[in-house]
Structure 1
Amino acid sequence: MSSEKINQLYKLRNEDPLAALLFLNELGDSREELLPKAVVLIDCGAATNNFEAVSQGVEILGRLIKIAKPNSGLFYNLANGLQIRSRVNDELSSPVAGPQFEDRFQARVNFGKVIRDNHASPELKSQALTNIGILLLETSRWVEALDCFQKALKILPRNGVAAYQEMRHSMSLAGLFYRKTKTYQSYCHVDTMLERVRQLSDVVSSNYDTVEEFSGKDALSSVQKAVEDAAKIKPCPQKKIDNPFFAFVAEQGLALSLYCSNDEFSSGRFDLLTIPSVQAKPSDKHHGPEIFAMINVMKSDYAFARQVFFDVWEYDTDTPFFETTSRADTLDYAVYGVRYSALTSAQRIVFDILDKIAVALACYLDMEKANKTDFTKVWGSKKKGEGFKLHEEIKASLNSGNPGLIALYNIFHDISKDDSRGHGYMEAHKTYRNTSTHRFSVLHDDMISNDYSSASFAVDHIDISKFERLTLDSLKLARAALFYLIDMIIFAEEVKHSDDETIVVSSIVPDHDYIRGR
């Protein structure tokens, strides 16, 4: 296909989507013509709400990936097509099953390939993170979405679309937290969050050209209106955090609170996330509901893993751990010692919080053998001839539209592997946790090649910098999952109160440090 025709095709795509779709009849089926054909089918199908056109574009990209050398551009375009197809599908959408669910899952898989590709450009990685953040919002995974938008901005500071998405959803959350202060007071220091929103409005207004480049001219008017509203927020500057660990927590967004105030960091108490209230069960007798003890343990595990990670994540810094063992050098740039055992332990501890979350929600939903479940078993089981079947308690809660449970269920798929569907885009978190628990994780500070296969299949080799990033992402995943667990309980409690007209007597759950005289 001549460059003139390609230019004409893309010009029509921007000016007249219907004409662009008709122009595609002039194209052949050569490999060079298939890519622009697929891109235009998807973009113009989205503009005209044409499900068939988008599906045809997705199918072409699937074929291209099989016959051409796969690259981040193809994976990005396929993910974009799948994401769009999930939106233009007229069937009743479900966040937990059906064609849209499968398209969203595969879109996350392919965006994940772009994000992990060392050869992908910063622009493409940043766009992939922005799009995967928008995808996550569609299944109530708002904490991870905000993390994606922030990461997209770090990679490409001029990404006004990522800044706008974070700004817009943070403004929405701030409104919710103000309206329901008692329910969400542990989620966030709202004034600090609004300062972030104000700063983001400056980023967006300075990068309208990128917004137009990434999202088109039609998006500009709504973006500009949101920026005008955000710019009116009164400044609330934050002081510099002197404590290096606290500064690390703030910079990486690892507090169990969306945003923390100066006073919270100064006091050293900033992991404030908790359940606002729970209706006690007859089985609790005179004790407080067990869910409070469970939350306390999970928060403590998370805080410990985060602190261990901070103590060992920089190779040349001092740590509180004593290196007392001698080691044989295996002559493959592997690193051994307490520091690296601490690093793999931190990833293992924080990932295991997901199993504790599964037990907590199973207990909360009064499921049988709740104490024996884990994050892979709690959702349901595969039955011969029937495929995967949800447990009845889980199914009922998902059908009620519980957003926290929907988010956790989608995480389950993203960290799992399925014979028909393949690996979820976050499956590595589970793989390395299992290796360090049951076999041997060997870290390397210079992996000059990928030829580190294990003759016994008992040893997994991984670059230390890659493992550090994985552990940081595992911390963020566990943090998000804890928020979703609280979301799930808040929603379920509100349903209980709306369905139950019996009188409820309130009892305060006091602060542990206060009771202990601290």
Structure 2
Amino acid sequence: MELAEQAEKLNRLVDESPQEAIRQALELSGSINIDMLKAAILVDAGGLLKDFDSVFKGVEIFRLVVGKCKENSELSYNLANGLHALALSTRYEGYSWYGITEKYRLEARQLYYKAAIDSEATHDTRSQSFTNLGNLLWSSYRWVEAYDFYSQALEENPENGVASSGALKMLRYALNQGLGDPGLVKSEIEHLADHVKQNIETIYSYSGEYGVNGITGEITDIRPVQKTEQVAHIDSYEGFVVKNNLTLSPTIHSHAHGSQYWDNINIASVVSTTGSGGSVPEIFAMVNVLKSEYILARQLLFDACHERFKETGNYNDTLDYACYGVNQSALALAQRSALDILDKIAVASLSYLGIDGAKGASMKTAWFKKVKKGQKSRELAPVIEEEVEKGNTALLAMTEISRDLSNEQGFLAIKQSSRNSSTHRFTVLHDMGLPHENGETGCVEHYRFQEFARESLQTLKLARAGVVYFVQMVLIRERRLSGERDGVSLPLFVPSHEYIRGREE
């Protein structure tokens, strides 16, 4: 039988009888292409049945092939699918599932991201990689990041109904959490439902009949409404913010704004102790600083990418197509400023939770016990673990960001290394070419300007997600605490800074 015929037959069996598909796949042997088909069926059918052993066999085949062709993004994507399926095939028994599956999910996120940003990969591979990265992030409640990646998947393939269904799910979650403007969120959900129904064919090609049935079943209660493009009268900066979904707002999807204060995510109230003397808790000052520093980093990124800073220096040309000047330095500053926000989120979180050592906390280490010599995995500190086990999903999301930043295999590790470079060493950006070595001493690190700008944008999105998770973490905890307290409980509401200063619209 021809390979194409075998693939069609087995893929049909995956939907009709996954167990039989596994049995027949195990009998396959031959060329590398036969091995790839065998692995794909074992992963897909095994994933449907949550058959860990079958998925594991498929993963091992993919890993052998990827080892021979490390630069092939499609193979990396397939291996990531297998690792994700391994995690989902691991029995869920509360929070312990995250520790047991950490190594699978960590590697899968890195491989998905690698395939998603590979300029040599096809649009389909990049779109599917962004989509599945979003799915994987959602499994640990990183819904803001997931929404961003679903949006990027749609940029790669505007007909990707799996991505629009994922984005819809994230907005539904936000609505159920009481986050965002209900009217705006519901309207976008209806637009996304229409997009899903218009792209069933793509859903089938990406996810098969099982995927179609699952996705369409989730939106039967939504009235689909076609989206009409409205041209908003906004300046180039706000256009950049809306296009890239950078608004610091609980309504996380892109939309134009009627107010000059459109970065309006805030903590509404916290329960204050009677001994506080009526002073405003520090957490409000912390949120204000987090917001203002994010907004400044965003403005820096925009101005640097559009070369809006006036240049007053002249520089020696190093004859390697490097770019020097205040705009390049501003871009590096925007990137590290955005990453610095994550460390401040860690400080604010430990301070709010009443954990010692908050002042010196960092996003990479704040949540965990001290690692013992020879220990590879990191365990959550008792207070953090207790809060997560009580249902604080936003805190879980922040601990998972930390793992991706601090682990060499994490897909966010590159952001940490580039921040360290621009802070402690010398970052040089190039508009053409790129030296193979980082200079004579290793003190100068080279990046392509466009790639550095893209990663800086992603870092800004990450900082935005971190701020949203932090606010959500406080919201979840305050709701729980208010239900646990006996007697009279008086929440402390804080007035608008703009109102107090006489700048309210």
Provide the TM-score with structure 1 as the length reference.
0.90
Q: 1:328-352, CA deviations, whole angstroms, 9 ceiling, x for partnerless residues? A: 0001111111111111111111110
| Deviation at residue 197 of structure 1 after TM alignment | 2.3
Q: 1:299-342, CA deviations, whole angstroms, 9 ceiling, x for partnerless residues? A: 00000110111112135xxx1x2211110000111111111111
Write the distance in 1 (CA, Å) between the matches of 2:456 and 2:398.
Answer: 19
Matched position secondary structure for 2:55 = helix
Amino acid paired to 1:382: V
Amino acid paired to 2:189: V
Match of 1:306 among 294, 298, 318: 298
Write the distance in 2 (CA, Å) between the matches of 1:117 and 1:32.
Answer: 23
Distance 1:212 1:24, change over 3 A: closer
Amino acid paired to 2:332: T
Q: 1:118-177, CA deviations, whole angstroms, 9 ceiling, x for partnerless residues? A: 211110110111111111111111101111111100110010111122123323433543
Distance 1:112 1:106, change over 3 A: same
**1:241 alignment partner in structure 2:** 233
> Does the Cα contact within 8 Å between 2:144 and 2:170 map onto a contact in 1?
no
Write the distance in 2 (CA, Å) between the matches of 1:119 and 1:377.
Answer: 35
Write the distance in 2 (CA, Å) between the matches of 1:391 and 1:22.
Answer: 44
1:369 equivalent in alignment to 2:357: yes
Amino acid paired to 1:44: A
**1:109 alignment partner in structure 2:** 110
Deviates most, 141-150 or 422-431: 422-431
Matched position secondary structure for 2:445 = strand
**1:353 alignment partner in structure 2:** 341
**2:388 alignment partner in structure 1:** 398
| Deviation at residue 222 of structure 1 after TM alignment | 4.8
Consecutive unaligned residues in structure 1, runs of 5 or more: 178-183
Matched position secondary structure for 2:257 = helix
> Does the Cα contact within 8 Å between 1:260 and 1:270 map onto a contact in 2?
no
| Map 1:246-261 → 2, pairs under 5 A | 246-259=238-251
> Does the Cα contact within 8 Å between 1:130 and 1:162 map onto a contact in 2?
yes
| Deviation at residue 64 of structure 1 after TM alignment | 1.9
**2:399 alignment partner in structure 1:** 409
Consecutive unaligned residues in structure 2, runs of 5 or more: none
Match of 1:445 among 410, 415, 431: 431
**1:210 alignment partner in structure 2:** 202
Deviates most, 451-460 or 268-277: 451-460
> Does the Cα contact within 8 Å between 1:95 and 1:138 map onto a contact in 2?
no
> Does the Cα contact within 8 Å between 1:195 and 1:237 map onto a contact in 2?
no
Amino acid paired to 2:404: D
> Does the Cα contact within 8 Å between 2:83 and 2:105 map onto a contact in 1?
yes
Amino acid paired to 1:424: G
**1:24 alignment partner in structure 2:** 25
Amino acid paired to 2:167: E
Write the distance in 2 (CA, Å) between the matches of 1:174 and 1:189.
Answer: 8
Q: 1:217-269, CA deviations, whole angstroms, 9 ceiling, x for partnerless residues? A: 23334544555543356989855132221122111110111548999823311
Match of 1:379 among 367, 379, 385: 367
**1:180 alignment partner in structure 2:** none
Write the distance in 2 (CA, Å) between the matches of 1:232 and 1:280.
Answer: 44
Matched position secondary structure for 2:263 = coil
Kindly, what percent of the aligned residue pairs are identical? 34
Q: 1:70-96, CA deviations, whole angstroms, 9 ceiling, x for partnerless residues? A: 411211111111111211222525377
Match of 1:425 among 411, 420, 429: 411
Provide the TM-score with structure 2 as the length reference.
0.92
> Does the Cα contact within 8 Å between 1:402 and 1:491 map onto a contact in 2?
yes
> Does the Cα contact within 8 Å between 1:21 and 1:41 map onto a contact in 2?
yes
Matched position secondary structure for 1:363 = helix
Q: What is the count of residue pairs matched by the alignment?
A: 500
Matched position secondary structure for 2:303 = helix
Amino acid paired to 1:303: I
Write the distance in 2 (CA, Å) between the matches of 1:279 and 1:341.
Answer: 43
Amino acid paired to 2:460: L
Write the distance in 2 (CA, Å) between the matches of 1:264 and 1:46.
Answer: 41
Match of 2:483 among 498, 507, 510: 498
Write the distance in 2 (CA, Å) between the matches of 1:93 and 1:34.
Answer: 35
Amino acid paired to 1:359: V
Q: What is the root-mean-square deviation in Å for CA atoms of aligned residues?
A: 2.5
Matched position secondary structure for 2:280 = coil
| Deviation at residue 283 of structure 1 after TM alignment | 6.8
Write the distance in 2 (CA, Å) between the matches of 1:368 and 1:292.
Answer: 19
| Deviation at residue 367 of structure 1 after TM alignment | 1.5
Write the distance in 2 (CA, Å) between the matches of 1:143 and 1:220.
Answer: 24
Write the distance in 2 (CA, Å) between the matches of 1:269 and 1:95.
Answer: 42
Matched position secondary structure for 1:39 = helix
Amino acid paired to 1:505: L
